[in-house]
A and B are shown apart, each in its own frame.
Chain A
Amino acid sequence: MSDKKILIVDDDFSVRETITDILKSQGWLVEGVPTGREAVEKTEEKNFDCVILDLRLPDFNGFEIIERIKNKVDKSKIVVITGYATDRIIVDALSKAEYFLLLKPVEPKQLISVVGKILEQ
């Protein structure tokens, strides 16, 4: 199998679980955390090849997380998932086209394809 490691950060259990299983079924290693703080901790512990990040987290917003982990995880490896596409500030910042942006509800196939692209880099 592959040794690619993916981190999924989302405070919703069901979303996290289902995405984890979907990505695992592609043969990738997946870990999931519910908060931003734990996400930062995890990236300090291990190297991840891809991080899937919900913008709306209980402690930090996704943008801040990106800034915090930028030393450990390059922006091009980040997939931002959000239902709040209308949040102007966030999407403006993201439109600098450094991250991948997917809107909730996410098409599983689309997610797989994007993650695949990132892992190939």
Chain B
Amino acid sequence: MKFRNKIVIGGLVPLFCVSAILFFTVDGFLRKIDRQAEQTKIDEIAENVEDEVNRHLSIVQNPLRETFAELISKLYSWNEINGFFIKFASVYPQIERIALVRGGKKIVEISKWPRGVLDRTPVNKNTSLSNIFWFNKKPFVNFEIRSVDFVVSGTIELASLFKKVNSFTFSPSGKIKVVSSKPRNNIRGKNVLSFPLLNGEWSFELNDDFSALSNPEKRFRRIFLGFMLIGFLISFAVLKVISDDFARKLGDFSSGPGDEFSAVSKKIGELEKKNKKLRELIEAQDSVGILGRNVSVIGHELRNPISAIKNALYFISTQISEDVKKSDVGKHLRIMKNETKMISHMIEDILTLSRIKPPLRTNCDINEILSEVVSVFGEDETLVEFYFEKGGIPNIKADVAEMRQVFSNLIKNSVEAITPPGKIFIRTSSAGKGVKVTIKDTGCGIPKSKLGEIFKPFYSTKSAGMGFGLATVRKIVEERHNGKISVRSAEGQFAEFELFFPAEG
């Protein structure tokens, strides 16, 4: 799978887990609170129901039962009895029928039903309790209050007891199941409360369900889901941005089949192979010296003709008179000599810069080499004074020709920087485990901004020349002899080069 997709998933999964944990914790907590509230409500309802039942059936329970019997025993005239019954019946509307029998004769009866109807209603012994009966799909109960000389009998309706009830069910065990008015959804819990009624023959079962979610809980769920959705969208957007940025930074590696990193490591593998091949190629060239040899061969070949020209010029100069030397002929000879020198220097520089083989180290006396170089320059540059302070220095392991080239190039630069008259100071000294050489001229100096540039190839302030001089010097000193070269200068005043060569090379 693409790594950038892993980023997105990797960001969303923890978010999801945290959300889930949060949700279930809070939801569970709310649910518990809910249940407790439900329980409290049920307890209330149960109490209410009990009270109501008791009230409803108070006529058949003491103390009202006794009081009632006592009251009736004091009533004698028919009018009194009738009035009492009517009043009583209106106070207790649940009484459907009430009758007084004295000495075997029914004296008075008040009934909401036609005469004798309730008396005659059959009682189904299988489905009803001892004195509950159903008539017209409604429950009733008969009662009797006996006294010495009379019996009061009656019927109490039960339907109004259960105002909150949707339906009744009878259970064979003798319990009436009362189902609350709450909508029937997802019946989960049952809170059963049974309490005795009329000497334990009846009981009510309050069956409440906790199917519906409470409002607070619903609200919580809605809000939580809302926030979670927003959170997910924001997270997704952020992760997508990160993943796209990631894909963009990887550029080509992110497209194509497979995981981005396999593309990267494949590319690295390819590059390593190429690198190895290049290295082999360079080494092959190095051992054969193809490129180097071409330049090298040309360079060496050029030394002979230059040598011959030099020699010829010298010879001519020994054969001509002073007058000729001062004339135009002499001028042209000098021109030829200088140009030949320049060619020679250029060749040396090219050969050095293209050199692949290591320097040839022999014991070198720097003082001796410097002396030779200085004497060569000294003769030609009569307007420049050379001051050479020879310090006590050890021999060093170095390539003689290259040392000569270094000093030649530096002194040549110094000479060219000087508008005569001028001075060049050369000093050698022992320094640590090596030799220090300083070459200072009173020439035009080097501007500060250029101090870092001067050692680069092709840097030149002259109209002629390729600018290899100092690049060659640095290559020889630092790369080929493990030495150091540094420069100090004040524009218009001086330039000083300081070189260090370790004795062991």
- Residue ranges of A at the interface with B (Cβ–Cβ < 8 Å): 12, 14-15, 17-19, 21-22, 25, 83-88, 91-92, 95, 101, 103-110
Contact = CB atoms under 8 A, between A and B. Distances in A.
29 contacts: A12-B304, A14-B308, A15-B304, A17-B308, A18-B311, A18-B312, A18-B314, A18-B315, A83-B300, A83-B304, A85-B360, A85-B399, A85-B400, A86-B355, A86-B360, A87-B360, A92-B360, A92-B362, A95-B363, A103-B400, A103-B404, A105-B310, A105-B344, A106-B307, A106-B310, A107-B310, A108-B310, A108-B311, A110-B376
Interface size class of B (residues with CB under 8 A): 20 to 34
A14 B305 contact: yes
B401 to A, nearest CB: 4
A109 B317 CA distance: 12
Contacts of A12: 304-305, 307-308
B400 A25 contact: no
A105 B307 contact: yes
Given A22-B315, A91-B360, A105-B310, A84 B300 contact: yes
**Secondary structure call for the B interface:** helix
The 10 closest A-B pairs by CB, nearest first: A18-B311, A14-B308, A108-B314, A83-B303, A105-B307, A85-B401, A95-B362, A104-B303, A12-B304, A18-B312
A101 B362 CA distance: 12
Nearest to B379: A109
A26 to B, nearest CB: 9
Contacts of B376: 107, 110
B248 interface: no
B306 interface: yes
A21 B314 CA distance: 10
B372 interface: yes
B59 to A, nearest CB: 137
Nearest to B303: A83
Interface string B347-388: 000000001010110110000000010001001000000000
B319 interface: yes
Nearest to B343: A105
B357 A88 contact: yes
B318 interface: yes
A110 to B, nearest CB: 7
A14 B400 contact: no
A92 B254 CA distance: 59
B191 to A, nearest CB: 108
A87 B191 CA distance: 111
A61 to B, nearest CB: 14
Interface string B47-77: 0000000000000000000000000000000
Contact of B360 (A15, A22, A88, A108): A88
Nearest to B340: A105
Contact of B401 (A21, A103, A108, A110): A103
Contacts of B306: 104-105
A25 B318 contact: yes
